[in-house]
Amino acid sequence: MYADEGVIKIKHQVLYEVARMAFAGTLEEEKETLAVKMLPGPLATFRCCVYREREIIRERVRLAEGKHTGPEDDGNLIQVISPACEGCPISSYVVTDNCMNCIGKACVNACNFGACEAGMHRSYIDPTKCKECGKCAEACPYHAIAALKRPCKFKCPVDAISYDENNISVIDEEKCIRCGMCIHACPFGAIGSKTMIVDVVEALKSGKPVYAMAAPATEGQHGEKITMNSWKKAMKAVGFKDFIEVGLGGDLTAAAEAEEWAEAYKEGKKMTTSCCPAFVNMIRRHFPELTDNISTAVSPMCAVSRMIKAKEPDAVCVFIGPCISKKSEAKEFGIEGNADYVLTYSEIHAIMKAKDIEFEEDNNDYQEASVYGKRFGNSGGVTAAVLQSLKEAENEIDAKVNVCNGAAECKKALLLMKLGRLPEDFIEGMVCEGGCVGGPSAFQEQMKAKRSRDKLIADADDRGVLENLKNYDLESFSMHRA
């Protein structure tokens, strides 16, 4: 389970209240009193005092409105809620009670910075001098020195989190890849993302044709009884004109990427996938020399959005999934025709609750994607879909693919590519372990969701990628970035 399980209720309550007020048109006048309404006091519920608690609620409301926390907006969709940050100890190395206060003092002798000192009963590490090299921990024969990290810093795969003079976490906007891993890692709920709830509600109220699009990882998130048909009916009840499963976009992206892979393979050019925005951010921000190696095929989210807008140019497209970085793709990548707004599962639930709508069990006859498109959100799913597309097109190549499952594997493969030592021809990059199904805003534990997904997908027709696309007009929109 996520480390923020104890604060999930507060997060969801704020999202619901903001959605409710947005639908009622009372957001501006009611939001100032929401903190007192939720926390009437006078006693504190979860912090040192009710006043601090209320300030945290106010900051959460700002995030729910899509605004920044703090005095200035750095442009990052991921924000630190300063009053919620407990300023965890800076030092990563702490001497525990296992210290025997031995005569040898291997820890003191191993430290090159004078940070480790002998004490009366045990050694002591001065956090102001510690450089976090770890030599003291390695030297201790009793393993009495523990390596500690703030959960947010430990979870960040690109070392984008540091601390200010008050020990409050700070996110380096230039390093951050918007993966969102830090959000659920913090036990105090001190990191959150800007939401697009108010924008979506206003779009639904505007009378424009608004379409809901659910990520391939959606199937199984609510158990095996909640099907794509359940989603379709619920979204229409909310006010969306229609609902489309983005597994269809997986088929579209696989077909486009297959053509690109075949051409690159003949030219001897190594390439990476482009469907995971956190992975794309990792390349652009940390391996910029590899930017030209990113596939130009647009993501499944963008593919479905372009397909919709080719028919209805004034359509508003809303993507729903477990991914935080999809918000970055929609707002920061500048890809024409992409989804207008992105919601996580908790955010669409807040909108549904505000409209008093729940999912209902339904049949599983709405199947718009192939099995390969449906599994696009699994680690290895992109590769399987692309190779299947090449097979159907009778354009098979002896491609070797480095399937990177998680940020650590992504960084290793990209480093090898940068150094010209990558043995494989292509890299499939998924920053979340397990793929999109392991996204930071997933509604269900990954293995439990997988069991439900497998049962739901078993009902789908066993058709191929290109076979599934025969009934769609692929000439009306482009599948590549400009």
407/440 Cα distance (integer angstroms): 13
Q: How confident is the model at residue 2 (pLDDT cuts 50, 70, 90)?
A: very low
> Is pLDDT of 341 > 80?
yes
283 touches 414 (CB < 8 A): yes
Q: How confident is the model at residue 44 (pLDDT cuts 50, 70, 90)?
A: confident
> Is pLDDT of 60 > 80?
yes
pTM score above 0.85: yes
481/336 Cα distance (integer angstroms): 8
Provide mean pLDDT across the span 264-277. Answer: 96
Provide mean pLDDT across the span 451-459. Answer: 87
Provide mean pLDDT across the span 409-435. Answer: 97
Provide mean pLDDT across the span 424-451. Answer: 92
- Residues of the chain above pLDDT 90, percent: 82
Q: How confident is the model at residue 280 (pLDDT cuts 50, 70, 90)?
A: very high
Of the candidates 95, 90, 92, 98, the one whose C-alpha atom is nearest the C-alpha of residue 123 is: 95
Which amino acid is located at 24 in the chain?
A: A
Provide mean pLDDT across the span 193-219. Answer: 97
Choice among 2-11, 50-59, 316-325, 452-461 with the minimum mean pLDDT: 2-11
Provide mean pLDDT across the span 458-472. Answer: 86
379 Cβ neighbours under 8 A, 6+ residues apart: 403, 404, 405, 406, 428, 430, 433, 434, 435
Provide mean pLDDT across the span 402-409. Answer: 97
> Is pLDDT of 54 > 70?
yes
50/41 Cα distance (integer angstroms): 6
Q: How confident is the model at residue 26 (pLDDT cuts 50, 70, 90)?
A: very high
pLDDT of residue 260: 96
Choice among 72-86, 87-101, 279-293, 405-419 with the minimum mean pLDDT: 87-101
pLDDT of residue 3: 47
pLDDT of residue 91: 60
Q: Can you read off the two tokens belonging to residue 468?
A: 């599934």
What is the overall mean pLDDT for the chain?
93
149 touches 92 (CB < 8 A): yes
- Domains contained in the chain, CATH given: 5-85+151-195 (3.30.70.20), 93-147 (3.30.70.20), 199-471 (no CATH)
320/341 Cα distance (integer angstroms): 9
pLDDT of residue 314: 97
> Is pLDDT of 397 > 50?
yes
Q: How confident is the model at residue 4 (pLDDT cuts 50, 70, 90)?
A: low
pLDDT of residue 19: 98
pLDDT of residue 1: 42
Of the candidates 143, 139, 142, 100, the one whose C-alpha atom is nearest the C-alpha of residue 123 is: 100
> Is pLDDT of 86 > 90?
no
Of the candidates 336, 25, 18, 391, the one whose C-alpha atom is nearest the C-alpha of residue 192 is: 18
Provide mean pLDDT across the span 43-65. Answer: 93
For 404, other C-beta atoms within 10 Å of its C-beta total 24
357 Cβ neighbours under 8 A, 6+ residues apart: 234, 237, 238
240 touches 210 (CB < 8 A): yes
Q: Which residue has the tokens 């608004």?
A: 210
